[in-house]
């Protein structure tokens, strides 16, 4: 047996050492060599990585030791013992003391609210925030005026804004119900438009170009903005606020993504708000909101007839009456921006914070309206001689409307509206109109 194995082994060795080995065995030998080389290479890489890791760990420990040694030496040789460091402030810190002595007119001119309304809310931190809301000034100038740090102003503005939204929003901004809803319907009826629970509209709020996707925030006028969609009652108060969508978004898209739309379409408790109905030729006309041509037509959202087709005199009269009643939205936006001018010009606050700033300003607007804290004429930015305010972009008419239930309701409502309009003319003696 052994004698037979030797020749075979010898033959194998000879075949390997031959200059031209058989092709099959040569391929196996090459594969074995390649695997061995790969194992050696990976082993060297692991060794180098481990060596680098140990070196970085050593350097970190050495740096920490050096820093702690320096700190210990400085603590021994320093001669100053001062537990709290306070920056010395100049005359600007006396503004708050001066403001305390303002009379009622001076106070309202500076803070945009009366002293009674201000006392109704927290004081000094609120004063800093209201000053920023009213003027959107630089943090540095506000810090000098109130004698605090720049970072403190930034923190206070954010904290007070969040507190206003979280603690006061639901109390002062909500869709009307009960007696408030009856008052709202009556108020719009006095504006010659029946069956209305509020008017909806949108406006653009300027912002600095954001870091992420700035082109999405560029509106049709060429400046960056976020959109505020709001519902307003007859008393120019906000009953629903939805803010933050980029300025390039259409009104219909903003509406369809809002809680208002989801609630009106799906939530029974909110749909009940719109279930006070009138009957006209057997068709129920529900209570509804009114909007402009950029919004879709819904049973709970009426709008006038578009200009794409020739309108009858009756359709034009109805459209004019609806637009006249809906003007409360424009009035609310004008007062909101005139009082709180941080919504008129680009501020240095982050775009992620803007929805809360907008909501907080709407809450404060409602507080002032509810307490009879009137809007002063000189605050109107439309009459400002400087005229340095951005022009609002135009909106396109929504083209997705099709003949549907809402169209039938609007047609029947038109007939009922014209009948009431003629009765009103007869009661005033204008029978020839």
The confidence band for 432, taking pLDDT boundaries of 50, 70 and 90, is: low
| Domain range summary for the chain, segments of one domain joined by + | 91-170, 173-428
Q: What percent of the chain has pLDDT over 70?
A: 78
Question: What is the average per-residue pLDDT within 325-342?
Answer: 96
What is the distance, to the nearest Å, from the Cα of residue 188 to the centroid of all Cα atoms in its chain? 29
Cα dist. 49→39, 45, 99, 312 in Å?
Answer: 15, 6, 66, 83
In this prediction, residue 311 carries a pLDDT of 87
Segment 90-102, tens digit of pLDDT: 545 567 778 888 8
The confidence band for 168, taking pLDDT boundaries of 50, 70 and 90, is: very high
In this prediction, residue 354 carries a pLDDT of 95
Segment 241-296, tens digit of pLDDT: 999 999 999 999 999 999 999 888 876 555 555 656 665 566 788 899 999 999 99
pLDDT at 6 over 50: no
Question: What is the average per-residue pLDDT within 127-139?
Answer: 88
Question: What is the average per-residue pLDDT within 210-221?
Answer: 94
In this prediction, residue 38 carries a pLDDT of 80
Residue 34: half-sphere exposure toward Cβ, Cα within 13 Å:
6
Sign of CA dihedral 414, 394, 228, 308: positive
The confidence band for 86, taking pLDDT boundaries of 50, 70 and 90, is: very low
73 or 181: which leads in pLDDT: 181
In this prediction, residue 69 carries a pLDDT of 67
């Amino acid at each position: 047996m052994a004698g037979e194995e030797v020749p075979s082994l010898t033959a194998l060795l000879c075949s390997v050492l031959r200059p031209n080995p058989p092709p099959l065995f040569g391929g196996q030998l090459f594969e074995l060599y390649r695997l061995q080389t790969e194992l050696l290479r990976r082993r060297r890489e692991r060794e180098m990585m481990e060596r680098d890791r140990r070196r970085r760990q050593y350097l970190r420990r050495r740096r920490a030791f050096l820093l702690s040694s320096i700190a210990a030496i400085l603590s021994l040789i320093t001669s100053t013992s001062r537990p709290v460091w306070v920056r010395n402030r100049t005359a600007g810190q006396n503004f708050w003391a001066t403001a305390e002595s303002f009379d009622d007119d001076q106070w309202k001119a500076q803070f945009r609210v009366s002293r009674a309304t201000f006392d109704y809310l927290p004081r000094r931190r609120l004063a800093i925030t209201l000053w920023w809301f009213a003027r959107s000034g630089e943090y540095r100038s506000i810090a000098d005026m109130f004698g605090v740090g720049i970072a403190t102003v930034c923190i206070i503005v954010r904290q007070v804004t969040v507190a206003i939204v979280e603690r006061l929003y639901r109390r002062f901004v909500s869709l009307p119900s009960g007696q408030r809803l009856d008052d709202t319907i009556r108020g719009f009826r006095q504006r010659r438009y029946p069956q209305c629970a509020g008017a909806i509209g949108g406006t653009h709020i300027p912002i600095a170009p954001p870091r992420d996707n700035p082109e999405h925030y560029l509106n049709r006028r060429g400046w960056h903005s976020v959109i505020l969609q709001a519902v307003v009652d007859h008393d120019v108060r906000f009953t629903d606020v939805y803010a933050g969508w980029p300025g390039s978004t259409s009104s219909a898209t903003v509406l369809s993504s809002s809680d208002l739309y989801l609630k009106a379409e799906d939530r029974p408790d909110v749909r009940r708000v719109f279930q006070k109905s009138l009957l006209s030729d057997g068709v129920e006309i529900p209570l509804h909101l009114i909007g402009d041509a950029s919004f879709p037509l819904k049973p709970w959202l009426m709008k006038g007839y578009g200009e794409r087709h020739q309108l009858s005199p009756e359709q034009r009269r109805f459209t004019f009456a609806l637009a006249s009643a809906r003007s409360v939205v424009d009035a609310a936006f004008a007062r909101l921006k005139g009082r709180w001018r941080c919504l008129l010009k680009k501020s240095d606050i982050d775009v992620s914070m803007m929805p809360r700033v907008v909501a907080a300003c709407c809450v404060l607007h409602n507080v002032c309206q509810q307490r009879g804290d009137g809007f002063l004429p000189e605050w109107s930015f439309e009459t400002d001689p400087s005229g340095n305010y951005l022009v609002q972009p135009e909106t396109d008419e929504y083209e997705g409307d099709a003949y549907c239930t809402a169209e039938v309701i609007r047609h029947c409502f038109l007939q009922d509206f014209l009948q009431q309009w003629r009765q009103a003319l007869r009661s005033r003696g204008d029978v020839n109109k």
